[in-house]
């Protein structure tokens, strides 16, 4: 089992000064177990908005340890399908969120996030959220 780690986890773990939250320890264990996955759009979100050039390069170097999963046409098509399905049910979300959902479904991954929107998406699309238990 591999886990697609969402921007919310990476950002809090790598960018915040307060590292005393449960998800940071879980992320550390996932990294040690070698089951962490990332996609380019998550990498972009994590690195965006960093005004300190040294911090940007430090985080870029850390994230370089994790290669991006290859995104294919089917991932983008599934993301659009999920977007349309959820929108029809009154659930709004970002294109990146639905791409994360699509990649997770297509690759058979669980999503590790603190973003509560994913629970709403999960009411209508077949995603699995990682709760911290292997």
Give the whole-number percent of the chain exceeding pLDDT 70. Answer: 94
Whether the pLDDT of residue 40 is over 60: the answer is yes
Q: Which long-range contacts (CB under 8 A, 24 or more apart) does 80-88 make?
A: 82/121, 82/125, 85/124, 85/125, 86/120, 86/121, 86/124, 86/125
* pTM (predicted TM-score): 0.92
At a CB cut-off of 8 Å and minimum separation 6, what does 107 contact? 2, 4, 37, 69
Mean pLDDT score of the chain, rounded to an integer?
92
Which pLDDT band, with edges at 50, 70 and 90, does 132 fall under? confident
CA separation, residue 13 to residues 5, 48, 86 (Å): 11, 15, 29
Q: How far is CA 70 from the centre of its chain?
A: 14
Domains detected in the chain: 3-121 (3.40.50.1010)
According to DSSP, residue 113 is labeled -
pLDDT digits (tens, 9 = 90+) for 50-66: 899 999 999 999 999 99
Strand 110-112 and strand 36-37: the pairing is: unpaired
What does the CA dihedral 55, 58, 59, 65 come to, rounded to 10 degrees?
180
According to DSSP, residue 70 is labeled P
Two tokens, residue 34: 């070698």
Q: What is the predicted pLDDT for the residue at 128?
A: 97
Which residue in the block uniquely carries the two structure tokens 């911090």? Answer: 55
Torsions phi, psi for 85 (to 5 deg): -65, -45
pLDDT digits (tens, 9 = 90+) for 77-121: 999 999 999 999 999 999 999 999 999 999 999 999 999 999 999
């Amino acid at each position: 089992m591999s886990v697609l780690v969402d921007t919310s986890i990476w950002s809090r773990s790598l960018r915040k000064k307060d590292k005393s939250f449960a998800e940071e320890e879980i992320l550390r264990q996932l990294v040690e177990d070698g089951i962490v996955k990332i996609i380019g759009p998550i990498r972009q979100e994590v690195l965006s908005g960093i005004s300190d050039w040294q911090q940007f390069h430090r985080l870029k170097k850390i994230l370089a340890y994790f290669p991006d999963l290859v995104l294919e046409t089917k991932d983008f098509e599934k993301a659009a399908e999920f977007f349309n399905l959820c929108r029809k049910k009154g659930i709004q979300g970002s294109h990146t969120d639905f791409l994360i959902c699509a990649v997770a479904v297509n690759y058979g991954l669980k999503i590790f996030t603190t973003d509560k929107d994913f629970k709403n998406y999960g009411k209508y699309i077949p995603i699995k959220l990682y709760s911290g238990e292997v």
